[in-house]
Every structure is written in C-alpha cells, then in structure tokens.
Structure 1
Amino acid sequence: MLLPSLYFEEGFKVIGNMVNTAFGKFNLTGKTALITGAAGLLGQQHASALLEIGATVVLTDISAEALGAACTALSCESTASRILTRVMDVSRAESITTVAEEFSDRRIDILVNNAAIDPKVNGDAGIQETSRLENFPLVQWELQLAVGLTGAFLCSQVFGSAMASDGRGGVILNIASDLSVFSPDQRLYRKEGLPADLQPVKPVTYSVIKAGLVGLTRYLATYWAEQGVRANALSPGGVFNGQGDEFVTRLTSLIPLGRMAKADEYQSVVQFLCTDASAYLNGQNIVMDGGRSVW
C-alpha cells in the first residue's frame, strides 16, 4: 500500500523537530564552566568541548605560563572573550576561595574537577624503585592525594555550595579514570633486565584517587540533588600522547577496539554530561575506555 506523500512530509517534520529539540539541549550559551588542571592535555580538550557549545570557560591551573599557552591555543578556535584564566592551587583552600571571590559577580554553573598529578612510570634503575608500594614516599602520597582528591573535594565544597545556595542548580563533573573500576595491570610497565624489586609500577595513589573521585561523585549526587546540582564522573581510558611503541602494543592488546583514545574523543561525552542533554543522569561513572573494562 502506497502512503500519501503528505504522510512522509509530516513525518520528516516531526523527526526534524525531535532532532532540533535533542540537539538544542547541548547548549551552554550564557553558562560559565570552571575547569581545574585546565592547562593539561585533557583539560584543554574539556575546555574546547564546552567552548564549542557556547560556554564561557574559566581555565585554572598552578602555572600562569601554562595557562597562557592554553588560552592562546583555545583562542584560535573560539572567541577570546569567553576564555578566562586564573592561577589556582586546588590543594590550598585559600587559593580556591580567592578565585571564587574574584568571580562573585559571575555564577559558576559547571565545575570540572580535572586537576591531578599523573605520575609517569619511567623505571630508571637505581637503589630503589620508589613507585613500588614498599618504597612509595609518604610525601608523594600526601601531595598526589592533596591535588587529585582533596582538591576535588575543596572545589566542590566552594563552587558546589554556591550552585546549591541559589536554587538554580548546576553540574559537577569529576574526571576519574578506567583505573577507578579495575586495578592497574603492572605488566604494562615492566622493563627488561630489571630485577623484580626494581620493576616500575603504576603507583598506589593513582588508583586510590580515581576510585575516591567516584565515591565523591556518588556522595555529591545525593547531597545537593534537591537543589538541582548533579554530579557525575567520566573515567577515560588511556590517551595516546607519544608513548613508546612497546607500551602502546601491550596496552592496545587489552582493548577490544585495538587502540588508545585520541585526545579529542572525550569531547562529546563532556558536552553531554555538562548540559541538559543529561538532565536525568546523576551519580554515575561513565567508563569510556574502548571496552577494556569489559574484558
């Protein structure tokens, strides 16, 4: 049976309206997002994603020089007036409070807790391999937790409280890792010719911090839900950034898609999580790792 052409025309109109409505939710015009650790590889990608859909971004990091470089790079693809920078040390409450006070006349609608110290696994032969649990320095434990976990708590305390206080809600996005849901495979970091007690490993701090961020996310998701503040976590897999061939080969053998992520491949999910497109998503950890965590 042939259907009238009007049926198809009206059908396309309905579908078109649905698409427009759906994509219309990916819109942050008039909103301001503050990103910690914004001068880093993924920090800049998060900023680029939010700029693309209309947000004003506040880039924060501990290095003014690195922030300047990030701002310059992002200005090539977006309006410079929507890119603001502030030096901020997330491990110091007074530094966060100072930045919050500087933006007392501008509402922070979105907080992206991205700051972290990502310890590189080098495996240089020496008297001790300090990445190993037996030798891991307390000072490094305290420093890395202060930045990666305490920093997220402090920023959420300051900026999340402000979102909740006026009843207009907001979004907190914590950047975790696929290592929030499984342990590091230390075989990835083995070096030929080194004895067992000198083999480098992914430090204990990384797993503790990333798992802690997921716990913080769940706590925040219920704490300010009545005030309209949503909290979710994004757990990226490994991002290719010039790592050595041996490491890449080992890691990609563990990933069903057979490759590491490109730096810009998390942009669309950041946009989803920070906009009304995910208005009913709260307290979740989105693991985006090419399928590694399901093997």
Structure 2
Amino acid sequence: MEKLLENKTILIAGAGGLLGSLLVSKIIAQGGRVIAADINKKAMKERLESLDVDITDEYLTLTTLDITNEKSVSELFLSHIGIDGAVNSTYPRNKTYGAHFFDVSLESFNENISLHLGSAFLFTQQCAKYFKNSNTPFSLVNISSIYGVIAPKFEIYNNTPMTMPVEYAAIKSAIQHLIKYTVAYVNDSRFRINCVSPGGIFDNQPSAFLDAYKKNTHGAGMLDVEEIVGSILFLLSEQSRYVTGQNIIVDDGFSL
C-alpha cells in the first residue's frame, strides 16, 4: 500500500519544537523526505535524536532557518529544489510575551505581532514565490489555534499564573485570513494553503488549569501533540488535493 506522502519533499519550519520535531518522524514514516529547519540546528538535532529519529537518514536534511529574517527564508527556498509542501510550526516571540492584558506595552505588542505574524507572512509569501518559480503543486500548512476562532475562556486560568496572551489571539486569527488572501491572490488550484487549529496541547501545565480545561471538552482534556499530526499529514497529501483556504479545528469540542 502506497504511503500517504510517498515521493514528496516537505519543509518543516520549526522542526526543533514540540510539534515540528514529531512531524519529522511522522512524515518520514509516510514515505516523505523532510527538510528540517530551525534557528538552532544543534538543539533541533538533539530533540530529533531524543525522539529516536535517525539524523543520518537519507530522507532527512537538517538546515538552519531564522524565519524572522527575510534573507534566511529566501535563501532556504533558493537552495532546495523539488519541495512539494511545507509546515510552519514556528513560534517566535519576545521576552515579555505572555503578560496579562493591562501589562502589555504597545512596544511589546507590536514586536510580537512583527515576529510571529510578520514571519508567517514572510514564509507564506516565499512559499507562493517558490510555487510560481517551480510551477509544480505545493501545499502549505500553517498552525493557528482555537483562540484564533473563539474568544478566550478566561475562567480556566483562575488559580494559575497563566493567561491567554492578547498577541496570540490577534496573530492566530490573522493567520487564518492571511491564507485566504494568499490563495485567492495566487488563484491556482495547484497551490494550496490551509490551517490546523489545535485546542490546548499538553505541556506540563498546572493541574488547576488542566482540570478546568478538561471540563470544557468532551472528555479528552488537553491533547497530546500526536493528536494534531493526522490533520497536517492529510492536508499535505493528495487526499486533500482541492482543500484550500480552510481551517481544521482539532479540540475535542472545546470551541463548541
């Protein structure tokens, strides 16, 4: 039986992160070749090795990428041929990111919008340019969030130091419209961009938050990062050939 991504080459931006690193192994398992890119190549290599990824695999290429840097992104696309798709799983932010609403300065807000949304625009633009130059089908998957779809449920953060950052809501909702703009502008069914919007992903959050979050789902609570991967693989594959400009929500009913 043919694997889902047989003979496809997929670029993963942010391949050293929680989601990106897992995608590397899953894409290779589905017959795909992976260009794994991250700002810290050494840390990415260590993360992949911790997941038992063979970094000498002929199906894997490791490279450095600063997604907030125009030269770095454009050079990455210039130095690789035959890319069939990409996933942007990066999460650039500044040191003051995550402050409560009244504590966020305009300077910090603007910087985070520039870092995260700006880099999402840059990467999306360069994917479109790559498609135009190569003239072969291309599928890009961006990662949004349920909080790009609905207002935050602030009560689940009670009794924790956590909050839902205002920058995050602004960025993730904007990414969803950015993809619609771009696919409409390119106007070619061979070039597709879609979003996956996960619910909360488990990463050792406080128990008070985990309990409150779970009450807003249909029983699963916070999702394991593994649960997000299937939707991304589907969007990268030929099984979603005419799915474009869409947002797939994976949240066990949290947003209902």
Q: TM (normalized to structure 1)? A: 0.79
SS at match of 1:287: strand
**Distance in 1 of aligned mates of 2:8 and 2:150:** 35
Gaps of 5+ in 2: none
- How big is the shift at 1:274? 0.3
- How big is the shift at 1:77? 6.4
Hey, what does 1:162 align to over in structure 2? 130
Q: Which amino acid aligns with 1:283?
A: G
- How big is the shift at 1:253? 0.6
Gaps of 5+ in 1: 1-19, 123-129, 193-198
Deviations 1:46-75 (A, max 9, x none): 222222211111111211222111332455
Hey, what does 2:59 align to over in structure 1? 82
Are positions 1:290 and 2:215 aligned together? Answer: no
Which 4+ residue blocks in structure 1 deviate beyond 3 angstroms? 73-79, 117-122
1:49 aligns with one of 13, 26, 35: 26
Paired residues of 1:36 and 1:114 also in contact (CA < 8 A): yes
1:110 aligns with one of 85, 98, 104: 85
Correspondence 1:18-167 to 2 at 5 A: 24=2, 27-73=4-50, 76=53, 80-103=57-80, 106-117=81-92, 131-167=99-135
The number of aligned residues is 256
1:210 aligns with one of 172, 183, 203: 172
**Distance in 2 of aligned mates of 1:74 and 1:224:** 37
Deviations 1:243-295 (A, max 9, x none): 2211100100111234221121122211111000111211110001011111x
Choose 1 or 2 for highest CA Rg. Answer: 1
Q: Identity percentage over the alignment?
A: 27
Cα 1:178–1:91 change in 2 (3 A) is same
Paired residues of 1:96 and 1:158 also in contact (CA < 8 A): yes
Structure with bigger helix share is: 1
Hey, what does 2:163 align to over in structure 1? 201
Q: Which amino acid aligns with 2:218?
A: P
**Distance in 2 of aligned mates of 1:107 and 1:227:** 18
Deviations 1:7-45 (A, max 9, x none): xxxxxxxxxxxxx6xxx4x53222211111211111112
Hey, what does 1:268 align to over in structure 2? 230
- How big is the shift at 1:91? 1.0
**Distance in 1 of aligned mates of 2:251 and 2:96:** 20
SS at match of 1:292: coil
Residues 283-292 or 60-69, more deviating: 60-69
1:259 aligns with one of 221, 225, 237: 221
